[in-house]
Amino acid sequence: MPIEFSKKLTAHDTPIPGVVLYDLPVHGDNRGWFKENWQRDKMVALGLPDFRPVQNNISFNEKAGTTRGIHAEPWDKFISVATGRIFGAWVDLREGPTFGAVFTAELDASQAIFIPRGVGNGFQTLEDSTAYTYLVNDHWSADAQGQYTFLNLADETVSIAWPVPLEEAELSDKDKNHPRLADVTPMPPKKTLVVGADGQLGKALRKLYDGDPSVEFAGRAEFDLSDEDAFTARNWKNYATIINAAAYTAVDAAETPEGRRAAWAVNVTAVARLARAAVDHDLVLVHVSSDYVFDGTREVHAEDEPFSPLGVYGQTKAAADAVVSVVPRHYIVRTSWVIGEGTNFVRTMASLAERGIEPSVVNDQIGRLSFTEDIAAGIRHLLQTGAEYGTYNLSNDGEPQSWADVAADVYELSGKSRDAVTGVSTEEYFKGKSPAPRPLNSALGLSKISASGFRPSDGQVALAAYFEASEVSRRG
């Protein structure tokens, strides 16, 4: 069968999610033919994942009817015929609702197909002296074979109509003895690793992803961010995403010599190591940023505002943002005034209210609370929807308030008078002390995260729900 020349580079979706069949332009004359088998820029522009192949393999089959598979490997593949023709069969062997879905097609040198990790592929040659080539985005190793998932070529459930009956085909003994679909253990997805999982945001992520075996949580005991060996010892090939919920947040202590070193170690050095792992292994890196990267002189801070940190903590967070921004697949989630499980401003004010204390609270710092439940939900939304990579502001919505306003809300929720809270300026509050400088306006613009399809809840509504759910008024 002659090759069809001069096709337009075209992508065709298949019944298996992520499996895409491509027509390739093949140019021929009396001397033979030439094709661009793999052209990154053109194919990525057409929608092919930028899967970063690292190894090229070629399989030669002397006789028609040679049959191989069905094997699902723990990496992505881009497969094309070099010479001859093949019948290809692909079966989704990944965990999920499309497990067992089948696609078959005949391929010649003018076609190629992209096969994601966990989709089983089998081939049967239709001509003598057929060879096919495939690019893979991980290096083959003997250890990797233990992660393969196999399906019997003759499985009755998927019922593949092989052109050459299997009893007449050339098969290996191993391929003859692979399990039927009912006995196949589906290939699990790559995991998400949450570091800093014992902090306020980490606890909210634990609650949100409770029962999801694909999400792994690591506190300091499981992943010490100060230990370089923790990064090199982990097998990053098993992961698809890192969520960095760890941070040094002692704003005032960061101005001391010891605090400065600790802040840079956790907020920058460790983040740079996470970024290196993400770049080297093509991972998505989610990093949580802060309103402290700005000086607070603008009424509303947009994602693209230039950095202008006032103190050491803000400087380390800005440096980390700059590091993470060079990771090809990243989400920087910028928050303000974080409230979650553990010691925080709301709990402190509730405790004061219960004890009948009438506090003086800063009234010239303006912003919005960011409840960890909403931050966690926003992170999951970005990952689940495959939102455009980049920076997203994420706080609760509503009219910006001062810390004194928030304190008055807490007093009111505690059944106390709002008048028990006295507003004072930042300068007056810290008189005689040497605090870290703070941005006076921390309100973050939320149009970008809203445009992605995620609408943060109103801050006062979220405060009332947090107050009731955590019984903060009774526990302090």
Full DSSP string of 322-338:
HHHTTSSSEEEEEE-SE
Percentage of the residues of the chain whose pLDDT score is greater than 90: 85
Residues 20-43: tens digit of each pLDDT:
999 999 988 888 889 889 999 999
What's the burial of 184, exposed, middle or buried (CB within 10 Å: 0-12/13-18/19+)? Answer: buried
Residue 3 has pLDDT above 90, yes or no: no
C-alpha span between 71 and 161 (Å, rounded): 17
Per-residue pLDDT band at 476 (split at 50, 70, 90): very low
Identified catalytic residue from 22, 132, 134, 392:
134
Q: Of the given ranges (138-142, 224-228, 258-262), which has the lowest mean pLDDT?
A: 138-142
CATH topology of domain 191-475: Rossmann fold (3.40.50)
The whole-number pLDDT of residue 453 equals: 96
Contacts by residues 102-105 (CB-CB < 8 Å, ≥ 24 positions apart): 102/15, 102/16, 102/158, 102/160, 103/14, 103/15, 103/16, 103/19, 104/160, 104/161, 105/21
The whole-number pLDDT of residue 239 equals: 95
Residue 475 has pLDDT above 60, yes or no: no
Cβ-based neighbour number of residue 6 at 10 Å: 9
Per-residue pLDDT band at 359 (split at 50, 70, 90): very high
Contact (Cβ atoms closer than 8 angstroms) between residue 424 and residue 402: no
Per-residue pLDDT band at 434 (split at 50, 70, 90): confident
Per-residue pLDDT band at 400 (split at 50, 70, 90): very high
| Beta bridge mates, 339 | 371
The whole-number pLDDT of residue 139 equals: 84
C-alpha span between 285 and 244 (Å, rounded): 8
Active site (annotated) includes residue 281: no
Count of CA atoms in the C-beta half-sphere (13 A) of 243: 31
Q: Residue 476: which of 339, 340, 338, 344 has the closest Cα? A: 344
Mean pLDDT score, 402-419: 95
Question: Cis bond leading into 366, ω under 30°?
Answer: no
Domain boundaries, the chain: 10-183, 191-475
Active site (annotated) includes residue 134: yes
Assign domain 10-183 one CATH number from 3.40.630.30, 3.40.1280.10, 2.60.120.10, 2.40.30.170: 2.60.120.10
Identified catalytic residue from 12, 22, 27, 71:
71
Residue reference for tokens 């919920």: 245
Average pLDDT, the chain: 93
The whole-number pLDDT of residue 1 equals: 60
- According to DSSP, residue 227 is labeled -
The arrangement of strands across the sheet holding 130-136 comes to 10-13, 20-23, 111-115, 77-83, 130-136, 55-61
Residues 295-320: tens digit of each pLDDT:
999 999 999 999 999 999 999 999 99
Residue 143 has pLDDT above 90, yes or no: no
Q: Give pTM, 2 decimals.
A: 0.88
Contact (Cβ atoms closer than 8 angstroms) between residue 455 and residue 397: yes
The whole-number pLDDT of residue 392 equals: 98
Judged by DSSP in three states, 316 sits in helix
